[in-house]
Amino acid sequence: MFTGIVEERGEIVARDDLAEAARFRIRGPLVTSDASFGDSIAVNGVCLTVVELEDGAFTVDVMAETLRRSSLDKLRPGANVNLERAMAAGGRFGGHIVQGHVDGVGTVVSISPSENWTVVRVAVPADLAKYVVEKGSITIDGISLTVSAIGHDREYGDWLEVSLIPTTLSETTLGVTATGARVNLEVDVIAKYVERLTGADRAEGQQ
């Protein structure tokens, strides 16, 4: 499990495309400082398993299904990525419950900077919009954020907005993200459990 508090901004140093998979080598001195073979590290919000460690970098294998369902398929050497180690038992819970299981991919449709923060609007797939609420939690590229606004329009369909402070902009990839960029989205898992439970209750009541 993760919390969506990015520990460092890493860099893709190599990519090998394999049959129905890809292997990435990622530089991340902090997250590899105590990492071991088999550990989990979230890369732009995707939980991946360490298969090699060497000189402050780690290697992960990404299956075709994950490439199709996330923005990792667009990553090339030189790209920056958000990195977070799995939460240690007894560690600080600074964000919210993040599984590292991407639910879908959104698109950045506008970036509106101001003196003290920047508002980023992201178009959300229609099947995920029902899980997004104002002032609720959302994970964007592995970053735990609070939804500041939601809406729907003809041009982009369902969308959400997050307001980013300077620290988030400087310490994560959202600070260099441009409009049109694809970002990984993970909705609050509690919302999905509530939907499942209430749906089951309705089904039982109809029998």
Query: How many other CB atoms are there within 10 angstroms of residue 78's CB atom?
Result: 8
**pLDDT of 176:** 93
**pLDDT of 204:** 47
Domain termination residue (choose one: 85, 114, 147)? 85
Query: How many other CB atoms are there within 10 angstroms of residue 59's CB atom?
Result: 18
The structure's pTM equals 0.90
Residue 94 within a domain: no
**pLDDT of 199:** 80
Number of domains observed in the structure of the chain: 2
CA gap 10, 30 in Å, rounded: 9
Residue 186 within a domain: yes
Q: What is the CATH number of the domain that holds 149?
A: 2.40.30.20
Sequence-ordered alpha helix ranges (H) in the chain: 64-69, 126-129, 166-171, 189-205
CA gap 182, 74 in Å, rounded: 9
How open is the CA angle 150-190-180, to the nearest 5 degrees?
40
First to last CA, the chain: 37
**pLDDT of 16:** 97
**pLDDT of 196:** 85
Answer yes or no: do 17 and 57 share one domain: yes
**pLDDT of 69:** 93
Answer yes or no: do 57 and 130 share one domain: no
Q: E strands along the chain, which residues? A: 8-18, 21-27, 40-43, 46-54, 57-63, 80-85, 104-113, 118-123, 137-140, 143-153, 157-164, 182-187
- The pLDDT tens digits along the chain (207 residues) read 899 999 999 999 999 999 999 999 999 999 999 999 999 999 999 999 999 999 999 999 999 999 999 999 999 999 999 999 998 777 777 778 888 999 999 999 999 998 889 999 999 999 999 999 999 999 999 999 999 999 999 999 999 999 999 999 999 999 999 999 999 999 988 888 888 888 854 554 555
Residue 91 within a domain: no
Phi, psi of 169 (to 5 degrees): -65, -40
For the chain, how many residues are written?
207
Range of the domain at 62: 8-85
Residue 93 within a domain: no
Residues 140, 104: contact at Cβ < 8 Å?
Answer: no
Partner residues linked to 183 by β-bridges: 106
Answer yes or no: do 113 and 190 share one domain: yes
Answer yes or no: do 79 and 108 share one domain: no
